[in-house]
Structure 1
Amino acid sequence: MSILGKIFTWWNGATIGTSLFTMRRGEKVGTDAAGNTYYRAKNKRENTIGSYIGDERRWVIYEGNNDASNVPAEWHGWLHGAFDDVPESNLPPPRIWEADYSPNATGTDTAYLPQGALQRGGKAAPARGAYEAWTPDA
């Protein structure tokens, strides 16, 4: 992306401010299967009596468009402080019946379109079955 794109857009990767903050204070923690990179602050701030102030700051730099549904559940838990270590060390092994993670496809070319959707021509199948119209005389 061009430097102007980095300055004026926030929806396509990291902005200049986020990139500078990441270079200055960020410590890379890991990357998920989608290519998103996760960071945390290098140093926690201490107050005058030696205890830490607040929680550790954690953030993600998205691969591609900034869409929160691109973050898998395990990394979502790490971002929100559910556990301290990276997700690979906290997760049970995957079960046979578990499907692989896929982000929300709404609004993309891979989104599900039912038969009557406008993008598919807008012609729904006629209703059939045990439907009987109500009449006041009956």
Structure 2
Amino acid sequence: MGILGKIFTWWNGATVTTLLNSALTGEQVGTDAQGNTYYRAKKRYPAGHPFAGRERRWVIYNGANDASRVPAEWHGWLHGTLDGVPESNLPAPRIWEAEYTPNATGTAAAYRPQGALERGGKRVGATGDYEAWSPEA
């Protein structure tokens, strides 16, 4: 992406302002399996600010900005649910835990049920087991 794209777009990665803010006022606290990098501000919000005493936290995505790429533990850290960095507070992964899969909405891999226009728009016929509600009944 060119410099103009970095200056004027936020949906294709971090803007120049965010990158500068991360380098100058932020402290890197960790990365996740997706390669996303997490930061916190070196200073807390000042007195009189609505979030006084709390620290500002943010993520720089490795690739496109897609909030579904933030794992649950880092989501909790970003929103202040966890005080410590998740990497030091996580239990061992369970055998049943699935690996991350990207959000497929808007792509060819998106779920399309029977009757969807993208699948021809043909629905299965009614089976006769539906009875409409009536206020008199």
Q: TM-score, normalized by length of structure 1? A: 0.77
3-state DSSP of counterpart to 2:21: helix
Q: Is the 8 A contact 2:45 2:53 kept in 1?
A: no
- The aligned residue for residue 61 of structure 1 is 60
Alignment of 1:10-25 (within 5 A): 10-25=10-25
Q: Which deviations, in whole Å up to 9, do the C-alpha atoms of 1:75-97 show, x marking residues without a partner?
A: 00111122232212112222233
1:2 aligned onto 2:2: yes
Superposed displacement of residue 6, structure 1? 0.7
Residues 133 and 91 of structure 1: is their aligned pair in 2 closer, same or farther, counting only changes over 3 Å? closer
Q: Is the 8 A contact 2:44 2:56 kept in 1?
A: no
What is the distance in 1 between the residues matched to 2:132 and 2:57?
58
Q: Which deviations, in whole Å up to 9, do the C-alpha atoms of 1:56-76 show, x marking residues without a partner?
A: 211001122222222110000
What is the distance in 2 between the residues matched to 1:102 and 1:21?
30
Q: Is the 8 A contact 2:44 2:54 kept in 1?
A: no
Amino acid at match of 1:5: G
Superposed displacement of residue 8, structure 1? 1.5
- The aligned residue for residue 109 of structure 1 is 108
- The aligned residue for residue 50 of structure 1 is none
What is the distance in 2 between the residues matched to 1:46 and 1:106?
36
Aligned residues, how many? 128
Larger-Rg structure: 1
What is the distance in 1 between the residues matched to 2:128 and 2:98?
34
Residues 23 and 128 of structure 1: is their aligned pair in 2 closer, same or farther, counting only changes over 3 Å? same
Q: Is the 8 A contact 1:75 1:87 kept in 2?
A: yes
Residues 123 and 87 of structure 1: is their aligned pair in 2 closer, same or farther, counting only changes over 3 Å? same
What is the distance in 1 between the residues matched to 2:16 and 2:65?
14
Superposed displacement of residue 21, structure 1? 0.6
Superposed displacement of residue 131, structure 1? 4.5
Show structure 1 runs of 5+ residues with no match. Answer: 48-52
- The aligned residue for residue 49 of structure 2 is none
**Greater Cα offset, 84-93 or 4-13:** 84-93
Q: Is the 8 A contact 1:115 1:125 kept in 2?
A: yes
Q: Is the 8 A contact 1:71 1:103 kept in 2?
A: no
